[in-house]
Amino acid sequence: MATGERIRFFRNRRGMTMKYLGQAVGFPENSADVRISQYESETRVPKEDMTESLAWALDVSPEAISVPDIDSYIGLMHTLFTLEDRYGLTIEEQEGDFSFHIDPTQGIFAKNIHSMLKAWAEQATKLKAGEITKDEYDRWRYRYPEFDTTRHWIKTIPKSISDEFVKEFRKKHPKR
């Protein structure tokens, strides 16, 4: 799904109108629905700070909105090829079925993605066993890595806020 489709998916999932979401991210009432419509139809692409605002309003991670464009089979295949190159993803065939495999001994990238996939598998197993609800599972996925308890994550401030801090610091301390 492209960015616009993800925004629409999460907006509908939350039961929000375009106008409500637009106002939640700060657009004026008279143009809020038009702006969200432009993002969803992809006539406009939200900038990083707007993606963060949309993610906050939709209660998801910004990365859940900005996924790679996998709207075509060819695009999906090239995404998988990139995962092979970057993370050591391999594909295996067993009795006519295909599965993906990450060998954690193939470097730090493979080790990290292997750990993340393990955490995902744990949540999927809990869902299948009835230990968590579908809503809890979806919240884990769409807010990832916020609720991942298998790793230690550091939350950072958005780049736009960091840039403002740097700008203000330089104003007060021009010689540094």
51: helix, strand or coil: helix
Tell me if the pTM is above 0.75: no
Structure tokens at 44: 């406009």
Average pLDDT over residues 122-138: 95
Domain segments of the chain as ranges? 3-65, 70-102, 108-176
pLDDT tens digits, residue range 62-108? 888 887 767 778 878 888 887 888 888 899 999 999 999 988 888 88
| Residues recorded for the chain | 176
Asked if residue 44 has pLDDT above 50, the reply is yes
Average pLDDT of every residue of the chain: 86
79 in Cβ contact with 101 (< 8 Å): no
- DSSP SS3 for 29: coil
So what's the architecture of 3-65 in CATH?
A: Orthogonal Bundle (1.10)
- The residue among 26 and 84 whose pLDDT is bigger is 26
- pLDDT computed for residue 153 by the predictor: 47
Tens-digit pLDDT profile for residues 97-112: 999 998 888 888 888 8
For the chain, percent of residues with pLDDT exceeding 90: 48
Is residue 140 within 8 A of residue 108, CB to CB? The reply is no
Q: What are phi and psi of 92, to 5 degrees?
A: -130, 145
